[in-house]
Chain A
């Protein structure tokens, strides 16, 4: 049952094949068994069981709230959850319990979704590995998959097998791992430069970043307000569309959301792609791109072409400036957004009471990790009066050029862009941490980050397994607010590629029983 897609399990709930409480308990028990993945910072067991119970009552009365009623979900720990600790994986917010729900969380709960817990991330979502949080790194479930383990056996490896585990990517690594490990059917991530799509690609799940302004940011603890978007992680494109239908629309609490109402929708199935024009941006053919990813990318292009779609090479000439421009804008907004963490109203406060200034300084030194402090420092430098024109204003201008690149391409008749999501498959942790956070982020975000500059919708869809047995994702980028069309194309593509389900039988190291997951996974394969 856990291996099913959201749509399937929703049908099972409606048909009474399983009750919300049973489903919730199964997920809770799997969360416990997969605790070593470190996907969750907080497991809200009591709340979840209570919500499941209420959902069950509704089903019994025949008053289900809809497709999400009784569905276990997880939420990245940078979304405010009323009464549930929200830490951003930072010492600064350890123990902080928001008194309100983020709009997206509230909308999911209003639909009857069951909140399993809050997922792990890089501190304040600053990172691309989910390795730089106060609660430790997230481990990629694929590290323990049959597919990956079998490939590993062919090679000699170190004595300590567990040290070979892979990173999830980030910063929404906890959400990606939670979905990939079947502990929930959908999870919320956030996406500022690729933080939803990157871990989705590494964990073999669907990672969707909606258009900026389509989904409310109220309650999402910001990284870069002008680029942040709540992201959706699911195992199928269809499931992402269901969740999007529940979340999209104007929020009076977020002035940057669209004014027009958005109606819930069902994603129709695309049968004919011959009228589509797929753009392949030539600048995305980066030298660092692994051969394998490159070959999946061209195979995907060929697939569209063979089905009659027009596939053309396009140019996004300012792509190479994106990362450095993002660095200026991101750190500047970070410097500003982090100013509120001073230990006065909430969060961590140091013991120093000599003066208010000394208290601020010590609180912030103790509360933030090096990555956050480094970005605050850089951002404040860029915002100084003497630097503002040279850095911030310039970066904003470049941002406009980058956004215009996309506009031009879409105006030329391209429906979606097809690109890689990441350079390669997930890296082993020990390899990943050799580079510092900034270098890694700069490398890992290159395909995903320009999209945030332009506010466009994008989705990473798992394509196939690499030679190492690791998932590879490809990204589709759509026109602003054409999120449904984008998902429709992604859904068609997903159907063609038939990405394999994770086989997690080795996940249970006690080997005491035949893995339930194994059974479930094989069951779900039939679907």
Chain B
């Protein structure tokens, strides 16, 4: 299933960012991008990475980067994976902790049906094979926010395997080319989240909040099919949209519902893969690509200087713009995996294998879930292109902002304006205003209805497009007023009085004989000046097309 996601930054621009962080006196300006290659010892100009990286000098090796991802998505469910505690972000510390979550001895895990359904849905949406039998394992390590001393996960036999995720990258400036790429999905496993440790350095103590302990997670393992931070970030964004469309995770990175670890290595094409490092806790969309690119850069730099890459865990320091070894993850961990004895194998059915007479409440039918999958982002985009004649990048933009598609569809419902017009207004003007003020769609002061009404006025030529923009600004400022009210208050309606318009044109011509002369001498731009002057005289209430018509008639010999 193609689920492309457009990468909006063009690669060169992105590189500029990475270069500022990773820049050094060695003049490393390696291109980490679609080509994911650079030449040894190259002292390229950062702003032109594509060009320089493609110029391969004889005897010089190119570098290729390999990026794999482990993504943890918190399942959107009322209660935790194995206990009845509620799941809620930002609740008072330790207010959502059951006896099981606190690992009181004698408590046992009871699997949450909703979490299993979420895993199956996600697996199906990502083209996975759903295992009809999956198993739970214990992964042991001592940490203060892991009360049981082990995490229940699915190491041996996860619920879903062998899927794929398609995402799209946009190459070049306008007109841009959309390239669809695919990353294989190794597996999706159900597992428990840990609690949170809050380190109070001042009093040298650690505070533990177990609200998050035991919340259901989907761990999605993406094979190392990506070659730069950009691709990784785009794949993650597409996954995020899919999870949100399915409702299986809110996937909000800022709230920690989507967390990404990246496995990064570099090698020379044609040679075996290099030693990989794991970059942990890439928990911001903003720094995801940057962190991966800076790690790629670091590895190339280390290798070029004759040093080795250690198989280690690193974290991204967003202040320094580079990755650092994680001190508390030093030393090799042996997780001593063991089957979870308190949970029988998780059995799923399809319509064919469903035993007759079973209580539907007691079993999960994969086919039943498959039939009820909602429209996925790739399908939505395809539909938008077909139905409204959108450009691919417009369909991407519409899905990229939370709530924007719904806003658009509500406007479409209530307006007679052309879909292309609506698309343009929503993506350019409406989204522009939102971005400028850093607002989310649901925080917008302009409702879909009022935008629809405004576009109706525009559509029936009651106002000019300049006036429409003015009305929009008004709408943004003064909630509660309708576009029509604003139009009449500000007298923005187009002049329908032909005689008055003729008079206005006449007055302007009289007042600017020099410009009239210019027109007559054949200066093609002079007429625009006259049109502008008439518009100004009519307070922008006249239709420029109508003005032009009158002027041309009056000026014609």
What is the interface of chain B mostly: helix, strand, loop, or mixed? Answer: loop
Kindly specify which of B23-31, B102-110, B422-430, B503-511 makes contact with the partner chain. B102-110
Question: Any chain B CB within 8 A of the CB of A356?
Answer: yes
Q: Once the chains bind, are A336 and B140 in contact (CB under 8 Å)?
A: yes
Distance of A218 Cα from B82 Cα, bound (Å): 14
Residue A11 CB within 8 A of the other chain? no
> Is the Cβ of A218 less than 8 Å from the Cβ of B108?
yes
**CB–CB B342/A385 < 8 A:** no
**A470 contacts B by Cβ under 8 Å:** no
Residue of B nearest to A333 (CB): B341
Closest Cβ–Cβ distance, residue B296 to chain A (whole Å): 30
State how many angstroms separate the Cβ of B500 from the closest Cβ of chain A. Answer: 81
- Contact A255:B342 (CB < 8 A) given known A336-B150, A380-B336: yes
Is the CB of B206 closer than 8 A to any CB of chain A? yes
Q: Is A252 an interface residue (CB 8 A)?
A: yes
Structural contact, A256 and B142, CB atoms closer than 8 A: no
The answer to whether A340 touches B208 (Cβ under 8 A) is: no
Complex contact A342–B109 (CB within 8 A): no
Q: Which residues of A contact B287 (CB under 8 A)?
A: none
Interface centre among A79, A100, A220, A345 (most CB of B within 10 A): A345
Q: Which of A217, A335, A380, A385 contacts B108 (CB 8 A)?
A: A217
Contact indicator per residue, chain A 331-367, by CB within 8 Å of chain B (1) or not (0):
0110110111110111000000000110010000000
Q: Indicate if the CB atoms of A336 and B138 lie closer than 8 Å.
A: yes
Tell me the minimal C-beta distance from B88 to chain A in angstroms: 21
Tell me if A182 is interfacial: C-beta within 8 Å of chain B.
Answer: no
Q: Are B106 and A221 in contact (CB under 8 A)?
A: yes
Please judge, given known A-B contacts A332-B338, A356-B206, A357-B142, whether A340 and B106 are in contact too, CB under 8 Å.
no
Q: Does A225 contact B (CB under 8 A)?
A: yes
The CA of A255 and the CA of B100, in the complex, are separated in Å by 14
Q: Which of B109, B148, B206, B343 is in CB contact (< 8 Å) with A339?
A: B148
Contact B147 A340 (CB under 8 A): yes
- Closest A residue to B99 by beta carbon equals A100
Does A377 make an interface contact (CB < 8 A)? no
Contacts of A346 in B (CB 8 A): 102, 104
Cβ of A62 within 8 Å of any chain B Cβ, yes or no, is: no
Tell me, yes or no, whether B334 is within 8 Å of chain A by CB: yes
CA distance A334 to B206 in the complex (A): 28
Determine whether the beta carbon of A256 is less than 8 Å from that of B344: yes
Cα of A100 to Cα of B108 in the assembled complex, Å: 13
Q: Which of B66-115 contact A (CB under 8 A)?
A: 99, 102-111
Closest beta carbon of chain B to A292's beta carbon, Å: 38
B1-39 contacts to A, CB under 8 A, are none
User: What residues on B are CB-neighbors of A79 within 8 Å?
Assistant: 106
Instruction: Say yes or no: is A493 at the interface (Cβ < 8 Å to chain B).
Output: no
User: What is the CB-to-nearest-CB distance from A85 to chain B, in angstroms, rounded to a whole number?
Assistant: 13
**B149 interface residue, CB < 8 Å from A?**
yes
Complex Cα distance, B208 from A225, in Å, reads 28
- A225 touching B341, Cβ below 8 Å: yes
B108-138 at interface with A (beta carbon < 8 Å): 108-111, 138
Query: What is the chain B residue whose CB lies nearest that of A344?
Result: B144
Q: Is the CB of B338 within 8 A of A255?
A: no
Does residue A173 face the partner (Cβ distance < 8 Å to B)? Answer: no
What residues of B have a CB within 8 angstroms of the CB of A254 in the complex? 108, 342
The answer to whether residues A102 and B106 also contact, given A255-B343, A344-B147 and a CB cut-off of 8 A, is yes
> How many angstroms from the CA of A333 to the CA of B148 in the assembled complex?
13
Q: Does chain B have a CB within 8 A of A93? A: yes
Q: Is the pair A345, B147 in contact by a Cβ cutoff of 8 Å? A: yes
B-side contacts of A225, CB under 8 Å: 341-342
Looking at A217, A220, A225, the one whose CB has the most chain B CB atoms below 10 A away is A225
Complexed CA–CA distance, A384 and B336 (Å): 5
Asked if B106 contacts A333 (CB within 8 A), the reply is no
**B344 close to A255 (CB less than 8 A):** yes
CB <8 Å contact, B105 and A93: yes
What residues of chain A lie closer than 8 Å to B111, measured between beta carbons? 255
A345 to B146, CA, bound (A): 11
> Which residues, 295 to 336 on B, are CB-close (under 8 Å) to A?
334, 336
- B476 located at the interface, meaning its Cβ lies under 8 Å from any Cβ of chain A in the complex: no
Q: With A and B bound together, what is the CA distance between A100 and B362 in angstroms?
A: 27
A169 is an interface residue with CB less than 8 A from chain B: no
Q: Are A340 and B336 touching (Cβ within 8 A)?
A: no
Tell yes or no: A136 within 8 A of B by CB: no
CB distance from A348 to the nearest CB of B (A): 13
Closest to A364 in B: B142
**Contacts of B102 on A, CB cut-off 8 Å?**
345-346
B337 within 8 A of A: yes
Identify which of A88, A252, A356 contacts B144 (C-beta below 8 A): A356
- Contact A342 B149, beta carbon cutoff 8 Å: yes
- Max chain A C-beta neighbours (<10 A), residue from B104, B111, B362: B104
Cβ of B179 to closest chain A Cβ, rounded Å? 41
Residues of chain B within 8 A of A98, CB atoms compared: 104, 106
**Contact A253 B334, beta carbon cutoff 8 Å:** no
* Nearest residue, chain B, Cβ from A219: B106
Residues on B with C-beta less than 8 A from A385 are 334, 336-337
Interface string of B375-415 (1 = CB under 8 A from A): 00000000000000000000000000000000000000000
How far in angstroms is the closest Cβ of chain B from A489? Answer: 30
Contacts of B142 in A (CB 8 A): 339, 342, 357, 360
List residues 469-486 of chain B with CB under 8 A from any CB of chain A: none
* Chain B residues in 8 Å Cβ range of A356: 144, 206
Most buried by A among B111, B148, B341, B362: B341
Q: How far is the CA of A79 from the CA of B106 in the complex (A)?
A: 8
In the bound complex, what is the Cα–Cα distance between A346 and B97 (angstroms)?
Answer: 14
Q: Which residues on the B side are within 8 Å of A88 (C-beta)?
A: 105
Contacts of A339 in B (CB 8 A): 140, 142, 148-150
Contact B342 A256 (CB under 8 A): yes
Determine the distance from Cα of A264 to Cα of B442 in the docked complex, in whole angstroms. Answer: 58
Which interface residue of A100, A332, A339, A383 has the most chain B CB atoms within 10 A? A339
Contact for B338 among A259, A333, A360, CB less than 8 A:
A333
Distance from A121 Cβ to chain B, minimum over Cβ atoms (Å): 14
Cα–Cα, bound, A79→B109 (Å):
17
Complexed CA–CA distance, A123 and B52 (Å): 71
- Among residues of B, the one whose C-beta sits closest to the C-beta of A228 is B341
Q: Which residues of A contact B336 (CB under 8 A)?
A: 335-336, 380, 383-385, 388
The one of B105, B147, B148, B334 in contact with A384, judged by C-beta atoms closer than 8 angstroms, is B334
Q: Is the CB of B103 within 8 A of A388?
A: no
Q: List residues of A (73-91) whose CB comes within 8 Å of B's CBs.
A: 79-80, 88
Q: Is the CB of A218 within 8 A of B107?
A: yes
Q: How far is the CA of A219 from the CA of B148 in the complex (A)?
A: 15
> A221-B105, A255-B109 in contact; A99/B99 too (CB < 8 A)?
yes
Q: Counting CB contacts under 8 A, is A222 at the interface?
A: yes
Docked complex Cα distance between A514 and B327 (Å): 73
A253 to B343 CA separation, bound complex (whole angstroms): 11
- Give the complex CA separation of A335 and B338 in angstroms: 10
Q: Which of A255, A341, A384 has the largest number of chain B CB atoms within 10 A?
A: A255
A-B contact pairs, 8 of them (CB 8 A): A80-B105, A80-B106, A225-B341, A255-B110, A256-B342, A336-B138, A341-B105, A384-B334
Nearest first, the 10 closest Cβ-Cβ pairs linking A and B are: A339-B149, A383-B336, A225-B341, A226-B341, A221-B105, A219-B106, A340-B103, A80-B106, A340-B148, A221-B106
| Interface contacts beyond A88-B105, A225-B341, A388-B336: sample of 4 additional A-B pairs, CB < 8 Å, sorted by A | A259-B362, A345-B103, A357-B142, A383-B337
